[in-house]
Amino acid sequence: MTDVVEGPAVARTLAAGSGSISYFRSGSGHPLLFLHAAGGAGMWGPFHERLSGSADVIAPDHPGWGGSDDLPELRGVDDLVYHYLDVLDRLELDRVDLVGASFGGWLAAELAVHSPERFRSLVLLGPVGLRIPGHLVADLFLMTPPQLIAALYHDPALVEQILSVAPETDQIIATYRELGSLARFGWRPFLNNPRLESRLHRISMPTRVIAAGEDRIVPRVHCERYAAGIPDAELVVVDDCGHALYGERPDAVADAVSTFLTERAGGRS
């Protein structure tokens, strides 16, 4: 089912489990499900807008993030996999292009492993999800907000700009809520599934893994191992960019996604 969604993206709600979730949807073309990082809920930015020029972009907030209810019956990443399969069913979507960033990249990989027939293509942006001894993902929970911003972005001027604006009280409350949700789904083991790497061979759709050239959150080897474990996957590096790929270089990252979809997935139904 492909819709043409006219006008600016606005938040919508969809019944899910014990409550509802919030999602944005805009654009025309083949459906594209975007799964956001641990940050980035409740927003439609330049990255999403650029993608929506050639795709029907559906961008939900994870349960416990943004405008979505907590859905406390969901306790692990495997529950989120079934949650998103239910979301696709409710929206009557099949064979969608799947794009996930960081924590959302982990979810996207798990979805593609579990139900490869539901997805036309896969793009992972700086994904977590693998356990690689000696190359651990940075512990976000130990960082102060300024430390986290400095780790997420490469450009010092951008870091200074972000830190110059004092957060509103509602933003602070939302951040703590979302960190709690991240802990619920990714605390033990920390942001990984030790069995995921051995299952990557099940991913059968065209796949591109996009790494940040200066990522201080997820070591490059994680992207390299995803690309090595997924059959025929491509690895692309966006230079002069920190872990917040679609926040720091939205145009370059959106172009890397769109070009891949046109070249590798466009002819597949």
- DSSP assignment of 75-90 equals -SHHHHHHHHHHHHHH
| pTM listed for this prediction | 0.96
Evaluate whether residue 1 is within a structural domain.
no
Rounded to an integer, the average pLDDT of 90-108 is: 98
Evaluate whether residue 180 is within a structural domain.
yes
> Sorting pLDDT into bands at 50, 70 and 90, what band is 2?
very low
Domain housing 166: 10-267
The pLDDT, as a whole number, for residue 200 is 99
CB-based contacts of 18-21 (< 8 A; 24+ apart in sequence):
18/69, 18/71, 18/72, 18/73, 19/68, 19/69, 19/70, 19/71, 20/68, 20/69, 21/60, 21/61, 21/62, 21/63, 21/67, 21/68, 21/69, 21/71, 21/87
**Residue 199 pLDDT more than 90?**
yes
* CATH of residue 216: 3.40.50.1820
**Residue 204 pLDDT more than 50?**
yes
Evaluate whether residue 3 is within a structural domain.
no
Evaluate whether residue 43 is within a structural domain.
yes
Model confidence over 221-251: pLDDT tens digits? 999 999 999 999 999 999 999 999 999 999 9
The pLDDT, as a whole number, for residue 269 is 54
Evaluate whether residue 5 is within a structural domain.
no
**Residue 103: partners with Cβ closer than 8 Å, 6 or more residues away:** 36, 37, 38, 62, 128, 182, 185, 186, 191
Specify the 3-state DSSP secondary structure of 123.
strand
The pLDDT, as a whole number, for residue 265 is 77
Specify the 3-state DSSP secondary structure of 171.
helix
Rounded to an integer, the average pLDDT of 183-210 is: 98
Evaluate whether residue 29 is within a structural domain.
yes
Q: List, in sequence order, the alpha helices (H) in the chain.
A: 46-51, 77-90, 103-114, 145-152, 156-163, 169-186, 220-229, 245-248, 250-260
Evaluate whether residue 4 is within a structural domain.
no
Q: Is the dihedral of CA 2, 257, 42, 187 positive or negative?
A: positive
> What's the domain count of the chain?
1
Specify the 3-state DSSP secondary structure of 74.
coil
Percentage of residues of the chain with pLDDT beyond 90:
94
Evaluate whether residue 136 is within a structural domain.
yes
- C-beta of residue 256 within 8 angstroms of C-beta of residue 263: no
Q: Which residue has the tokens 């409710």?
A: 90
Rounded to an integer, the average pLDDT of 60-89 is: 98
The pLDDT, as a whole number, for residue 267 is 54
Percentage of residues of the chain with pLDDT beyond 70:
96
Rounded to an integer, the average pLDDT of 135-155 is: 96
Model confidence over 36-72: pLDDT tens digits? 999 989 999 999 999 999 999 999 999 999 999 999 9
**Residue 127 pLDDT more than 60?**
yes
The pLDDT, as a whole number, for residue 1 is 40
The pLDDT, as a whole number, for residue 3 is 47
C-alpha to C-alpha distance for 65 and 120, rounded to whole angstroms: 26
C-alpha to C-alpha distance for 211 and 170, rounded to whole angstroms: 32
